[in-house]
Amino acid sequence: MSDHPLDFEAAMSRLETLVAQMESGELTLEQSVAVFEEGVTLSKQAQAALQAAEQKVKILMESNGELLAEPFVADRQNDAQ
């Protein structure tokens, strides 16, 4: 794996590949440990990317002539569709 962090989508894609490899049961113990280690690293990178995105996603609202930042709340009805 590269020393450079992958973007979120690439990290998730690679994680899916690693999970499939682990679930196949065809890896040796050493390979399984290496794949698991890579997966943990990717998981941490993806979590950091999500946290960074959460910080960036703010709704600016006008209140008494001042801009206030409020956390973004997703519309759960749209998520269910």
pLDDT score of 29 more than 80: yes
CA 71 to CA 74: how far, in whole Å? Answer: 10
User: Residue 43 carries which side chain, given as an amino acid letter?
Assistant: S
Residue 68: per-residue pLDDT: 66
Quick one: pLDDT band at residue 4, thresholds 50, 70, 90? confident
Output the pTM of the full model. Answer: 0.65
Rounded to 5 degrees, what are φ and ψ at 73? -120, 120
pLDDT tens digit sequence for 36-81: 999 999 999 999 999 888 777 654 445 555 666 677 776 655 444 4
User: To 5 degrees, how large is the angle CA 61–CA 69–CA 80?
Assistant: 85
